[in-house]
Structure 1
Amino acid sequence: MSFHGPDVLWLVRHGQSRGNVANDEAAASGAELLDLERDADVALSELGEEQARAVGKWLAGLPPEERPTLALTSPYRRAHDTARLALDQLPDVPLRIDERLRDRELGILDLHTWKGIKARFPEEAARRRHLGKFYHRPPGGESWADVALRLRTLLTDPMLDLDGQRVLCFTHEAPIHLIRYILEQLTEPELIDALRAAPVANCSLTRFERPTPAEPLRAVDVGRTEPLPQHHVPTTRESRVRSDEA
């Protein structure tokens, strides 16, 4: 039995979270640590909730033949809550939790800013500079390459019954970049260039379509943010990524 996967794949980054706000505040103050709960429990901000509702309204406004038929979400609260709020507008779309869509695990570097990593883990910061962003694995955490490996199993999992579906994934910035890396067959330098050039905004939409069942998924939209201002909701994103940051 052949397996070709979804006909359309939407990738939605979660709405603005308390972690995003804390990161912005830490960058402004020069703090070394973020004052947050464990990563899986970080909630949306009030603006993030508005963003999730706005993207749901935009998706619900698509013609029926273009709307998602199945949704998958990271189990992390900020992504799952984004999915729940968005799908309030699409009550006929089933939602499944899949841990392979979770954010990258940072291990001992969790809750540390880049300034904090350099101050408290100078040897790890040096190893990060030597190995590069893609291959560096912090103790107890994952490299970007590790995340790519688990995402490959998601995209080819016949148990999910994705054939012919229009799949909507609620996830995080790193998995979105890495699904692009997989589907577009990017090189490491091309991925890093994409990270620097185009940080993924909260509740932005990246869409892949399959022209025919025999052809691979191809990027149609990357980081689309129009659904938010169309519903009078501000867009938020991190500053451009520096190559030396964890």
Structure 2
Amino acid sequence: MAELGWLGVVRHGQSVGNVRAEEAERGGLEVIDLAERDADVPLTELGREQAEAVARWIGQLPAGERPEFAVVSPYLRTRQTAALALGGTGIPVRYDERLRDRELGVLDLLTQRGVAARFPQEAARRARLGKLYHRPPGGESWSDVLLRLRSLMRDVRADHPGGRVLLVGHEAIVLLVRYLVEGLDEEALLSLSRATALANCSVSSWVNEGGILRPELFNAVEHLEREETTQQEAVGAD
């Protein structure tokens, strides 16, 4: 199967869930105060400004270096990010549920303190198994997310051989796409997760060199810093 010419991934802009999760963690609360279901969490005003900064970045790229097609998570915060970043560019957009955020099951809306207090056995199991393989009841492990990402990437490569494709997704999606594209192992993935504060509306990308996608950018935020719209990674909810 032919490889893509270029692959990019943008994390969505700052969401209401990011802000509420950070507030809950900082306040030592057990539960994140969020009324919407995960799929319906919108962007904040800062998140909208970040997505507009992505639009300006795309607009400044040479014509031959711009994305030709975009695949977007169907969650509201990613759809809003894509609409602001890609609106008016003429880039075709497809929504695909395989790019949705990781499902947390019974741990949904709980902070680290909340998980430890309400599901201590699950907290211990998560610590023992690690992020890649721990599946909370009713939720997904990172390995589960990888299964759907492998399927998505197989389709994208088949549909756009040699093409330039942009994904718009979530924090875990960015990390796991890098895991797949670069052939990382579990240790490298977990080390990357611990060491990286993945910024909202950051850009990660890979370019085809000799038929293989090679790293180009990771967690790049220069386009946000120029617009003074960057912000530290929110804790908890993506």
Alignment TM-score, normalising by the size of structure 1: 0.92
CA distance in 1: counterparts of 2:212 and 2:157, whole angstroms: 19
Which residue identity is paired with 1:49? R
CA distance in 2: counterparts of 1:5 and 1:120, whole angstroms: 46
Aligned partner (choices 215, 231, 236) of residue 235 of structure 1: 231
CA distance in 2: counterparts of 1:234 and 1:182, whole angstroms: 27
Asked if structure 1 preserves the Cα contact closer than 8 Å seen for 2:203 and 2:218, the reply is yes
- The CA RMSD measured in Å over matched residues stands at 1.5
CA distance in 2: counterparts of 1:165 and 1:59, whole angstroms: 16
Which residue identity is paired with 2:168? F
Asked if structure 2 preserves the Cα contact closer than 8 Å seen for 1:34 and 1:113, the reply is yes
Q: How far did 1:131 drift? A: 1.0
Which residue identity is paired with 1:219? P
Unaligned 5+ runs, structure 2: none
Q: Secondary structure at the match of 1:65?
A: helix
CA distance in 1: counterparts of 2:214 and 2:67, whole angstroms: 17
Where do residues 92-107 of structure 1 align in structure 2 (5 Å cutoff)? 92-107=90-105
CA distance in 2: counterparts of 1:194 and 1:111, whole angstroms: 24
Post-superposition CA distance 1:106-133 (Å, at most 9, x none): 0111001111011011111111111112
Q: Secondary structure at the match of 1:72?
A: strand
Higher helix share: 2
Asked if structure 2 preserves the Cα contact closer than 8 Å seen for 1:117 and 1:125, the reply is yes
Q: What residue in structure 1 maps to residue 130 of structure 2?
A: 132
CA distance in 1: counterparts of 2:115 and 2:230, whole angstroms: 31
Q: Secondary structure at the match of 1:194?
A: helix
Asked if structure 2 preserves the Cα contact closer than 8 Å seen for 1:225 and 1:235, the reply is no
Does 1:194 find its partner at 2:199? Answer: no
User: Relative CO higher for 1 or 2, CA cutoff 8 Å, sep ≥ 6?
Assistant: 2
CA distance in 2: counterparts of 1:232 and 1:18, whole angstroms: 19
Of all paired residues, the percent bearing the same amino acid is 51
C-alpha change, 1:158 and 1:224, in structure 2 (3 Å) is closer
Alignment TM-score, normalising by the size of structure 2: 0.95
Q: What residue in structure 2 maps to residue 14 of structure 1?
A: 12
Which residue identity is paired with 2:42? A
Asked if structure 2 preserves the Cα contact closer than 8 Å seen for 1:5 and 1:156, the reply is no
Q: What residue in structure 1 maps to residue 82 of structure 2?
A: 83
Post-superposition CA distance 1:40-60 (Å, at most 9, x none): 011101100000011111111
Where do residues 28-47 of structure 1 align in structure 2 (5 Å cutoff)? 28-36=26-34, 37-47=36-46
Which residue identity is paired with 2:219? G
Q: What residue in structure 2 maps to residue 224 of structure 1?
A: 220
Aligned partner (choices 183, 208, 212) of residue 206 of structure 2: 208
Q: How many residues align?
A: 235
Post-superposition CA distance 1:19-75 (Å, at most 9, x none): 110111011111111111111011101100000011111111100000110011000
